[in-house]
A and B are shown apart, each in its own frame.
Chain A
Amino acid sequence: MKNLTALELSRKIKEKEISIKEVLDYTFKSMEDNKDLNSFVLEMRDEAYRQAEDVQKKIDANEELSSLAGVPIAIKDNICIEGMRTTCCSKMLENFIPTYSATVIERLRAAGLIIVGKTNMDEFAMGSTGETGYFGPCVNPINKGYVTGGSSGGSAAAIASGQVKLALGSDTGGSIRLPGAYCNVVGIKPTYGTVSRNGLIAYASSFDQIGPMAENVADAAALLEIISGHDAFDSTSLNKESYDFSGFLNDFAGENTINGNALNINALNENALNENALNENALNGNALNINISNKIATNEIKVDNISNINNLKGLKIGIPVDYLGDGLDDEIRESIYKTKEILEKAGAIVSEFEMGMFKYSVPAYYIIACAEASSNLERYDGVKYGLRAKDYSELHSMYKKSRSQGFGAEVKKRIMLGSFLLSSGYYDAYYIKALKTRELIKQCFENALNTYDCILLPVSPSTAPRLGESLKNPLKMYLSDVYNVSANLCGLPAIVFPAGESREGLPIGLQFIGRRFGEQEILYAAATCEAAGRGPESKAACEAHERGVV
């Protein structure tokens, strides 16, 4: 089972070569064996077996199910599941049980995936290392002395250790990509508005996006397709006719062409908003008309065969050299250039260029994210749910004590920072300035993406730090997001993929950032790099497999 992809596993389940129950037995055994990684904060054993029975019945009745039906999946603990404790790895929500399920959960269930548990994370997704959660740090399975990266650390580690083949994470400023890079896992931060945020416990609303994490690009693409789509419960969800991310990947060996499977762009920029179709799209200042379908069509990219080295023919990829300056480990810079060679061999046209605004992305991101977070986290007050301190004297003492006791240090820091930034007298100086900066950064990316189909970037300036090392140097931790926050600031899709390892044997991950709704191009580029031998079969990953972790 360990050598199967999630898509293959689902196929075998449907062909009745293996039952879902057998898959679950294996999964829960593996979860048991990997307890030391602290990947899971909740096992959903009973639920999973119950769900498995339902799905198995459908399979036995030969009902048509999704490409990933029957495959176990882990869910980051900031996504609500009705009746299942959902904590955001905060003491504040230690005993919180949601009364409703996130839209993505409904979608996964409808597609027949089996939810096996909730994964560990940084508290309220605030952290880049996977260490700030109330239930203790996530441990990197590739080298247990190291962090997983965060905040979706548990999801990444659960995949990297083979406990599951699929997981959901969320990405506000790199929270899927950083752990993906540190753990040799593929992860996608979709275009903002692609995946419903309904039921995702908010950190920074205008950046948050749920995304798939998997062992390989094809599995991730298939999962993305299942969770994508318009949702009337999320006003920022986009209304698109179809989200076909995996069709062309499934046919790697076949004759499918990208333009044959191109996104139906006509329906693309119709912002959905609520059922009343009230609002028009606001992201990117209403300028959604990035006509990528035409571009793909005229480029005539053909996916004849994945082994065909010309399969990226005509794809234009940009490397922003100003992003590769001081602070970036040489080994990662080298990996960028090795990847460039792979891409060129595959027929892509890779050019270096200056993006601009590089040093402003982290400040702009943290100002906006903390401001939104300070407001989003106001609802945790001890009144309605969550922790209420015991020893309060009146209302304000209840608020203060509950919040002081419920939140961890990192969360408090960001709430205080955000409250300060929104205070009268500072709002214009910081918040408004950050919004303007965000617009300028968007323009830089828009300009670049007018020229290039996608952009190649590092994910982190270095490989995974040792456990405990980063919290002493928070500024360094914030700077580790420097390559990631731009995609969130601009609402653009990004994919992290394994790109080799350092001399120490630690994984290196890189990312492609695409145009709005340019998921196809970045998936394709990442799949090409993966196929060139830098995928999950990298040395470290192989070793993890050999060690019998899987």
Chain B
Amino acid sequence: MAEYETVIGLEVHVELATKTKIFCGCSTKFGARPNENTCPVCMGMPGTLPVLNKKVVEYAIAVGLALNCDISRYSKFDRKNYFYPDNPQNYQISQLYMPICTNGFVNVTAGEGSKKIRIHEIHMEEDAGKLIHDDEEDVSLIDYNRAGVPLIEIVSEPDMSNAEEVIAYLKKLKTVIGYLGASDCKLQEGSMRADVNLSVRPVGKKELGTRTEMKNLSSFRAISRAIENEKKRQIKLIENGERVIQQTRHWDDKKGESYSMRSKEDAMDYRYFPEPDLMPLIISEKWIDEIKANEPEMAEQKIERYILQFNIPRYDAEQITSEKKFTEIFEETVDLGANPKKVSNWIMGETMRILKEEKDEPENLNISPKHLAKLIEIVDNNTINSSVAKDVFLQVYKNDVDPEVFVRENSLAQVSDAGELEGIILRILSENPKSVGDYMAGKKKAIGFLVGQTMKATKGTADPAMVNKLLTKLLNGYGN
């Protein structure tokens, strides 16, 4: 069997975080009642006209600048015509001929080092509504709340060759766009949607193979699996002497396989033409400069600042800035007076560990800086010991509890009253004559068991150093 390499390009749709829709004043808020956020314009009523939301253009330019794109000084909207009920006008206002941004790139770190992924273009367009099929009533219902929500589509060049690079690229987009505040980029909620264009070719061959486009990828894991699956499917076809057909495929994550939605032969003719209801967009240098000037602090800048200002290791700074949410928790907690390195430790240690364990996304984090600062404070002043601190943190992570209240209500405060501890230890010693005997006989290791018993008896709240000290003292005096 020949060696194959995979060639992947991505089309990423990102829902912009504007307050209102792209062509009307309706709210973009998620979770409203069906068709609550609609008006004659986004319902496609006869006689209505689109009016472009300036913020959409600003976000698109900001993302373009952050992704090293050329910003078109003259840009236009086009109509993409196709009949489907989720699309109230039966055409989508998009950009085909003169997109707002072209010719960019990002560097991503995947595997052994850095790779440059080129960006072909970024264009602006409107989202469609949602169809809900009611099998019981045998009807389809339409919710136009999402119709007209602004999107940008970021089209990469086919510069990726495996799932790892694809995910690194998507994470990079997510970070950059998140920092800009242009979108929250949630794959699960659909505010970021990635379509994977994939082809394979024998290693060494220059021309590209026939590609397929994979849709419905709603997690990094699904993307990974779909890429693996599609790569194998295409190689198998070629090995069997069959042809890869250019088609759009739908990924079924439950079954772990994809099926064809439509092939090129019955591909739609979208009859694109310039949108006559909107004027061409002429973008001034001044406007671009303003957007540049308003660009928020990005990851690279934060890393340098954290090292300088908070004196934390570069590694820590890099880890924290990998997600905007981490930086928010970090900065706000430090602002409350917590020690930066200790905050960093909580983020890099427990936070990332639990996130991984729970397969959760950082943007869902619900840890309030106030509570994290408090946790650090009560560890510092020995109210709780470090192992109890981890249990308390889990509660802060899960329910954002107030650590002080939680510790009090669950009697988790460290027992560091020597008299009280001595009483407990004496009881333990009398209950464990064998261990005491072993210790006296010279097996010093036996003290470990006795420490454990003491911690158990205090439900872990004892100060371990003090327990050790007291035990040694008492044992040494025991025989006397």
Contacts and interface: CB of A to CB of B under 8 A. Distances in A.
Interface of A: 78-80, 86, 88, 93, 96, 98-100, 102, 197-202, 204-206, 232-236, 271, 273-276, 278-282, 286, 371-372, 374-375, 378-381, 383-385, 395-396, 399, 419, 422-424, 427, 431
Given A279-B280, A375-B271, A233 B45 contact: no
Contact of B53 (A78, A102, A276): A276
Interface in B272-308: 272-273, 276-282
Nearest to A271: B279
Contacts of A202: 46-47, 277
Contacts of A278: 52, 54, 57, 279, 281
- 10 A-B pairs with least C-beta separation: A279-B279, A276-B54, A378-B90, A422-B271, A205-B276, A274-B51, A206-B276, A201-B46, A199-B47, A280-B282
A80 B276 contact: no
B190 interface: no
A375 to B, nearest CB: 5
B277 A375 contact: no
Contacts of A279: 52, 278-282
Contacts of A399: 83
Contacts of A380: 46
Nearest to A277: B54
Nearest to B50: A235
Nearest to A285: B280
A49 B40 CA distance: 28
A235 B278 contact: yes
B142 interface: yes
B148 interface: no
B324 interface: no
B43 interface: yes
A423 B279 CA distance: 23
B46 A379 contact: yes
Interface string B407-419: 0000000000000
B282 A80 contact: no
Task: Please indicate which of the listed interface residues A233, A234, A374 has the most CB atoms of chain B within 10 Å of its own CB.
Answer: A233
Given A236-B49, A276-B53, 19 more contacts: A98-B40, A99-B45, A199-B48, A202-B46, A234-B51, A235-B50, A273-B51, A276-B52, A276-B54, A286-B282, A375-B91, A378-B83, A378-B89, A383-B85, A384-B45, A385-B46, A399-B83, A423-B271, A427-B271
Contacts of B57: 278
A424 B270 CA distance: 8
B125 to A, nearest CB: 16
Interface residues of B, number: 34
Contacts of B48: 100, 198-199
B395 interface: no
A379 B90 contact: yes
Contacts of A423: 269, 271
A201 B278 CA distance: 16
B91 A235 contact: no
A204 B89 CA distance: 15
Interface of A is mostly: loop
B4 to A, nearest CB: 32
B431 to A, nearest CB: 78
Interface of B is mostly: loop
Contact of B277 (A205, A381, A419): A205
A233 B280 contact: no
A100 B282 contact: no
Contacts of B403: none
Contacts of A88: 46
A232 B142 CA distance: 29
Contacts of A424: 269, 271
Given A235-B279, A278-B57, A375-B79, A384 B52 contact: no
A54 B47 CA distance: 28
B277 A235 contact: yes
A358 to B, nearest CB: 25
A200 B90 CA distance: 19
29 contacts: A80-B46, A88-B46, A98-B46, A99-B45, A100-B45, A100-B48, A102-B47, A198-B49, A199-B48, A201-B47, A204-B276, A205-B276, A205-B277, A206-B276, A273-B279, A274-B51, A274-B52, A276-B54, A278-B52, A278-B57, A278-B279, A280-B280, A372-B273, A372-B276, A379-B88, A379-B90, A381-B83, A383-B88, A422-B271
B273 A427 contact: yes
B362 interface: no
A485 to B, nearest CB: 16
B40 A99 contact: yes
Interface in B76-104: 79, 81, 83, 85, 88-91
Given A232-B51, A375-B273, A422-B81, A280 B279 contact: yes
Contacts of A199: 47-48
Contacts of B40: 98-100
A206 B85 CA distance: 26
Nearest to A386: B46
Interface string B41-70: 001111111111110010000000000000
B91 A378 contact: yes
Contacts of A233: 49, 51
Contacts of A422: 81, 271-273
A204 B276 CA distance: 9
A273 B89 CA distance: 22
A93 B45 CA distance: 12
